[in-house]
């Protein structure tokens, strides 16, 4: 290891903001960029060093921003590019770094790339997505399943082929074997780096490359009823293909064209596969997200084992990292209870490596029960009733005891936890023994 100063992303603390739910500034019930700018002081006082924003780009919001229709703008719900520049300048003035979400695996079906691609078989963007012939009987090209339920293939009647989508039909997967696609996304990265962004968290990084022959996925022998249907198959051919490491290395080279930026990967894989994403001689992601704490049975022995396993698996000089919560998983306070959530905070903030906090976990925010008619998450809508819904961990930030917790003066897009009346920033700040002050 060289003896240059430790990087900000090594000694710092990352904080994930789900922009829809952090702070509304225009009374439409949805959080926005000016709202985040207003709350930077809170974040500085909390002691975090970087904020990662879930997607803020123009989107039809079929998957709440993870379906992007223009990589180079800001959705009007969140504000404008000027609001973004203001946020970055204010964050930097407060010594906070800004990390954006990069969603390179798929676009929205409303992105101009896909509209072109679907327009005809010989369109020059046809090969930017994954189009395949139907099988002889008209069925989908193979057995791959969408993570949000049903087949991962949708038929396009206009051009009589299927396109692949690992998530919603409104989220067609890009073809990462096509060099033009790679260059287009690398240019997106450069655009935001030039705007001063300090890094990217890359959405479903392990999904980018699919099997060249599109072989059927094998059945999963440990599949249990009550689990999401796509788990009935092992994603052997649809994810984590060997060629992905070449892509990660290329992305890292783009990051290294700029000084002091970070590359973080969203990767849900067993630890031995996860650490491969550091790349050969650490030429890949700086921080392949380590999600092991999200699913470990909460007892000391199991946790100790996973820490040992992770530390042992790390390549030499690779920097570890730890995550306790995110916008896809139940809140930690609900998984382990309020008392153990304090222990979990101590663990997260004292383990060797970079911690990532999820907004509101510092208040002990719980998973909120969502009534049927309030469900917004497409995963829950497509695969109802087995507890996969993600709305409950995306509810508005609880700032104070005012109506809607000070989050909005309008109607919040998701309900607040009932506990907000006492479990809020104003209240917990005043209580020296609160979980918030423990985090501080
Ligand atoms: C992972 C994101 O974290 C999740 O919220 C999203 O639905 C999927 N990727 C699809 O983009």
Over residues 134-165, the pLDDT tens digits come to 999 999 999 999 999 999 999 999 999 999 99
Q: How far is the CA of 361 from the centre of ligand 1 (A)?
A: 20
Give the whole-angstrom CA distance, residue 8 versus residue 252. 17
Position 3 scores a pLDDT of: 53
Give the whole-angstrom CA distance, residue 70 versus residue 113. 9
Give the whole-angstrom CA distance, residue 350 versus residue 324. 13
Residue 54 CB burial class (10 angstroms; 0-12, 13-18, ≥19) = buried
To test the pocket of ligand 1, the residue of 328, 329, 382 to mutate (highest count of ligand atoms within 8 Å of its CB) is 328
Q: Do 227 and 207 contact (CB within 8 A), yes or no?
A: no
To test the pocket of ligand 1, the residue of 57, 167, 208, 329 to mutate (highest count of ligand atoms within 8 Å of its CB) is 167
Q: What is the mean pLDDT of the chain?
A: 98
User: Model's pTM, two decimal places?
Assistant: 0.98
Residue 222 confidence (pLDDT) above 60? yes
**Can you tell me the mean pLDDT for 297-313?**
98
Position 194 scores a pLDDT of: 98
Residue nearest to atom 6 of ligand 1 (CA): 66
**Can you tell me the mean pLDDT for 87-116?**
99
β 262-265/131-132 pair status: unpaired
Q: Is 156 annotated as catalytic?
A: no
Give the whole-angstrom CA distance, residue 323 versus residue 166. 24
Q: What is the tens place of the pLDDT at every residue in 87-97?
A: 999 999 999 99
Position 5 scores a pLDDT of: 80
Q: How far is the CA of 66 from the centre of ligand 1 (A)?
A: 6
Residues with CB under 6 A from ligand 1: 63, 66, 103, 167, 203-204, 266, 327-328
* pLDDT band at residue 24 using 50, 70 and 90 as cut-offs: very high
Q: What is the tens place of the pLDDT at every residue in 225-258?
A: 999 999 999 999 999 999 999 999 999 999 999 9
* pLDDT band at residue 59 using 50, 70 and 90 as cut-offs: very high
167 φ/ψ angles, rounded to the nearest 5 degrees:
-120, -125
Q: Do 67 and 59 contact (CB within 8 A), yes or no?
A: yes
Position 4 scores a pLDDT of: 62
Token pair listed for 410: 């309008």
Per-position b or e across 68-99, b if 16+ CB within 10 A of its CB: bbbbeebbebbbeeebbeebbebbeeeebbbb
Position 1 scores a pLDDT of: 47
């Amino acid at each position: 290891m060289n003896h240059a100063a430790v990087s900000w992303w090594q000694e710092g603390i990352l904080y994930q903001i789900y922009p829809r739910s952090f702070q509304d500034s225009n009374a439409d019930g949805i959080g926005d960029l000016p709202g985040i700018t207003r709350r930077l002081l809170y974040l500085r006082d909390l002691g975090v060093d970087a904020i990662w924003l879930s997607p803020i780009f123009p989107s039809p919001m079929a998957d709440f921003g993870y379906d992007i229709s223009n990589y180079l703008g800001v959705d009007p719900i969140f504000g404008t590019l000027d609001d973004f520049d203001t946020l970055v300048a204010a964050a930097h003035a407060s010594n906070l770094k800004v990390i954006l979400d990069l969603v390179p695996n798929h676009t929205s079906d409303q992105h101009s790339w896909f509209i072109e691609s679907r327009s005809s078989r010989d369109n020059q963007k046809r090969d930017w997505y994954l189009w395949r012939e139907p099988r002889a009987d008209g069925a989908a090209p193979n057995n791959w399943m969408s993570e949000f339920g049903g087949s991962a293939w949708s038929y396009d009647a206009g051009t009589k082929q299927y396109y692949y989508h690992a998530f919603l039909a409104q989220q067609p997967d890009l073809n990462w074997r096509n060099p033009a696609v790679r260059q287009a996304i690398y240019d997106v990265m450069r655009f935001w780096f030039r705007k001063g962004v300090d890094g990217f968290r890359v959405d479903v990084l392990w999904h980018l490359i699919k099997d060249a022959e599109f072989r059927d996925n094998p059945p999963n022998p440990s599949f249990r009823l009550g689990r999401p249907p796509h788990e009935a198959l092992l994603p052997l051919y649809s994810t984590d293909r060997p060629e992905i490491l070449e892509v990660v290395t290329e992305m890292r080279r783009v990051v290294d064209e700029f000084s002091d930026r970070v590359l973080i990967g969203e990767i849900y894989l067993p630890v031995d596969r996860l650490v491969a994403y550091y790349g050969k001689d650490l030429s890949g992601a700086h921080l392949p997200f380590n999600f092991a704490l999200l699913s470990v049975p909460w007892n000391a022995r199991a946790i100790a084992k996973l820490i040992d396993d992770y530390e042992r698996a790390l390549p030499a000089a690779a920097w570890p990292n730890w995550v306790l919560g995110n916008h896809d998983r139940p809140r930690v306070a609900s998984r382990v209870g309020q008392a153990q959530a304090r222990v979990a905070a101590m663990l997260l903030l004292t383990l060797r490596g970079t911690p990532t906090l999820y907004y509101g976990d510092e208040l002990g925010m719980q998973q909120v029960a969502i009534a049927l008619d309030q469900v917004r998450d497409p995963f829950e809508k497509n695969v109802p009733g087995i507890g996969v819904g993600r709305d409950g961990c995306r509810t508005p930030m609880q700032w104070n005891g005012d109506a809607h917790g000070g989050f909005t003066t309008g109607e919040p897009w998701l309900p607040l936890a009932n506990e907000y009346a006492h479990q809020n920033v104003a209240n917990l700040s005043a209580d020296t023994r609160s979980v918030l002050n423990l985090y501080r």
